[in-house]
């Protein structure tokens, strides 16, 4: 599917253009701030071809699309008319208490740091390359080439306050250019000379603490956050006709002064405290930190909480010129790569083998979302193997204090980050993770995904030709005398057909409840898909079983976890034992109220006694109406 089509399919499922406040992206994820997260159809988005997963973290709606995220983002922005921010209304998360505060924190952190990561990646990689060149004496330390390359590499870190000023102002809906100017004040060479001079510095009699703001992190973030409130207050006070003159003037004066007097020193103290505390802990218990963080890293990535480490990583880089969390992350990536490669070699499913092979290659390079969401999470046991492997490899990183010169990804894509005295231990840590992930996955195994069945053809002489799950490579012909053994199942619902594997409930997605398909309803009613008898009407009214006269037991389960609604928004129209014709009304339900209550309305239609048959085949994809052909039960 093209990037444009992916973007076009995503937008309406987010609640439309009017529900999108802000959209950015990181290495693999679209990161959206919505006015109302409840309007987003998460399961529908996950079902889009090309989307690896979707999650809500820190109030952000995150859509994982892999290494084509930049192109999808560009197409998405075009759909918004190149508008990235709709308004300055409050966050959609709206949650309170500790969980709400935590979500807001991660939302702010990811929104501020994610946009500037490309600059840090480029600078960090260049630092590593310069280290390699100088180590092999390919470039003289005294040459102008070396000095110029060092300027290229150091610029992003030295002017980090300016980069952060722009992204922070965007997050807090403040003027980005005024914020950039304030950051320029902090790193102006004359300010540095003044603060480092022998005479004390005061502003209107108030003493100014001597602080070096180049490469700093927290001072400008706190300053721009404060600036966002100053702007709002000034806009209420200053007449609109004078705002273009006095708003930037007073903002620059007030905010610059407050940063130099209070917020800058406080932010520096907090930031240095965080960096010193982490470095001290890591130097004393590096192997333990690596073991725990590396082992849990896949789960942290799944929730999107890995962005919570960015302030520590940036502060460590700015203060010490090296970061230690990066090595742990790369070791965890290596574990994912090894586990996914083992799946590629072991799976018998040709289609899934292609997915796993591509995912393993991406993970070796450094993009792990395809492996994580497309392979190891889906199969579960390889995820355990990858977590154990990542923990062991990260323990090696921690034991030998492997440091990175920047922030990015790896293993292969991140090699230049690690050029230096600990490079050999970086390679050992990655190798340990990769090999353990690979071998452990082969040992503990996994439940393979069955080969997608070929279309089954029914010939004029009443034979069925196709494949069977036990050996999908071998064709089978079943002879029967009763044409009724090909049982048509009609659609009970008007809506959009969804593959069962894409349903968010693991029991349905894994086929534990039976074989079948799912439909995302667009009308709130379900009719009988067959001529038969109502066998079960669940007390909570959310599910009904109809046994066809030909024997197939059809479960219609309206929504995911809707049993928790205790029958609200459902009205049944049949009783147990009642005989129905195909198309007779079974149940009505209120789609909007169910969604508003926070439940997915996707409806699995399952052949519960599928083991009694040779095969169950879906006949439809895309949009479908009531009583359209949906499935065939063969046998």
Please give the positions annotated as active site: 26, 557
CA–CA dist 368, 8 (Å, integer)? 25
Contacts of 201 (CB under 8 A, 6+ apart): 194, 195, 207, 208, 210
What ranges make up the beta strands (E) of 264-397? none
β-pairing verdict for 570-572 and 585-589: antiparallel
Sign of the alpha-carbon torsion through 194, 195, 198, 201 = positive
Q: Tell me the CA distances in angstroms from 72 to 30, 34, 62, 268, 567, one per residue in order.
A: 8, 18, 13, 38, 40
Query: What are the DSSP calls for 341-359, one per residue?
Result: HHHHHH---HHHHHHHHHH
The length of the chain is 635
CA–CA dist 266, 223 (Å, integer)? 11
Query: What are the DSSP calls for 180-218, one per residue?
Result: HHHHHHHT-HHHHHHHTSSS--EETTEE------TT--H
DSSP 49: T
Q: Tell me the CA distances in angstroms from 611 to 253, 401, 552, one per residue in order.
A: 76, 55, 10
- Only one residue has tokens 């400008």, namely 220
β-pairing verdict for 553-557 and 463-468: unpaired
């Amino acid at each position: 599917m093209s990037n444009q089509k992916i973007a076009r399919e995503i937008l309406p499922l987010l609640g439309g253009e009017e529900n999108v406040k802000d959209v950015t992206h990181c290495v693999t994820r679209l990161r959206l701030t919505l006015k109302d997260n409840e309007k987003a159809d998460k399961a529908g988005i996950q079902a889009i071809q090309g989307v690896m997963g979707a999650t809500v973290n820190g109030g952000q709606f995150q859509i994982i699309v892999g290494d084509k995220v930049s192109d999808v983002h560009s197409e998405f922005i075009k759909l918004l008319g190149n508008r990235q921010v709709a308004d300055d209304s409050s966050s959609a998360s709206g949650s309170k208490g500790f969980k709400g505060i935590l979500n807001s924190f991660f939302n702010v952190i990811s929104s501020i740091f994610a946009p500037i990561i490309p600059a840090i990646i480029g600078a960090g990689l260049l630092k590593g390359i310069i280290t390699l060149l100088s180590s092999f004496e390919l470039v003289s330390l005294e040459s102008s080439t070396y000095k110029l390359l060092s300027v290229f590499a150091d610029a992003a870190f030295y002017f980090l306050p300016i980069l952060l000023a722009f992204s922070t102002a965007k997050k807090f809906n403040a003027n980005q250019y005024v914020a950039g100017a304030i950051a320029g004040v902090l790193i102006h060479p004359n300010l540095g000379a003044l603060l480092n001079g022998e005479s004390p510095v005061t502003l209107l009699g108030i003493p100014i603490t001597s602080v070096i703001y180049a490469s700093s992190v927290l001072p400008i973030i706190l300053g721009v956050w404060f600036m966002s409130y100053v702007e709002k207050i000034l806009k209420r006070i200053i007449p609109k006709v004078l705002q273009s003159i006095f708003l930037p003037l007073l903002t620059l004066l007030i905010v610059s002064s407050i940063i130099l007097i209070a917020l800058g020193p406080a932010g520096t103290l907090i930031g240095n405290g965080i960096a010193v505390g982490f470095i001290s802990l890591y130097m004393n218990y590096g192997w333990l930190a690596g073991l725990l963080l590396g082992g849990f890293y896949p789960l942290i990535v799944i929730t999107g909480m890995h962005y919570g480490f960015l302030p520590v990583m940036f502060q460590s880089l700015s203060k010490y010129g090296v970061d230690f969390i990066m090595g742990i992350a790369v070791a965890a990536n290596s574990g994912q790569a090894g586990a996914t490669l083992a799946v590629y070699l072991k799976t018998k499913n040709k289609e899934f083998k292609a997915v796993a092979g591509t995912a393993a290659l991406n993970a070796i390079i450094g993009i792990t979302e395809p492996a994580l969401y497309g392979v190891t999470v889906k199969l579960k046991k390889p995820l355990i193997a990858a977590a154990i492997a990542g923990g062991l490899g990260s323990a090696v990183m921690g034991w030998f204090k492997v440091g990175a010169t920047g922030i990015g990804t790896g293993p292969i894509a991140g090699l230049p980050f690690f050029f230096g005295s600990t490079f050999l231990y970086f390679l050992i840590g990655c190798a340990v993770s990769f090999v353990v992930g690979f071998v452990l996955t082969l040992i503990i195994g996994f439940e393979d995904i069955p080969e997608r069945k070929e279309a089954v053809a029914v010939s004029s002489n009443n034979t069925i030709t196709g494949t069977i799950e036990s050996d999908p490579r071998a064709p089978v012909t079943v002879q029967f005398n009763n044409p009724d053994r090909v049982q048509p199942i009609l659609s009970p619902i008007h809506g959009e057909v969804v593959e069962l594997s894409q349903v968010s409930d693991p029991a349905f997605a894994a086929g534990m409840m039976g074989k079948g398909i799912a439909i995302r309803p667009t009308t709130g009613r379900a009719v009988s898909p067959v001529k038969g008898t109502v066998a079960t009407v669940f007390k909570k009214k959310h599910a009904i079983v109809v046994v066809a006269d030909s024997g197939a037991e059809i479960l219609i389960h309206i929504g995911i976890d809707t049993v928790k609604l205790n029958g609200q928004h459902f009205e049944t129209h049949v009783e147990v034992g009642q005989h129905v014709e195909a198309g007779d009304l079974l149940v009505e339900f209120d789609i909007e109220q169910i969604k508003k209550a926070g439940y997915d309305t996707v409806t699995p239609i399952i052949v519960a006694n599928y083991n009694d048959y040779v095969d169950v085949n879906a006949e439809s994809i895309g949009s479908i109406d009531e009583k359209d052909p949906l499935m065939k039960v063969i046998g």
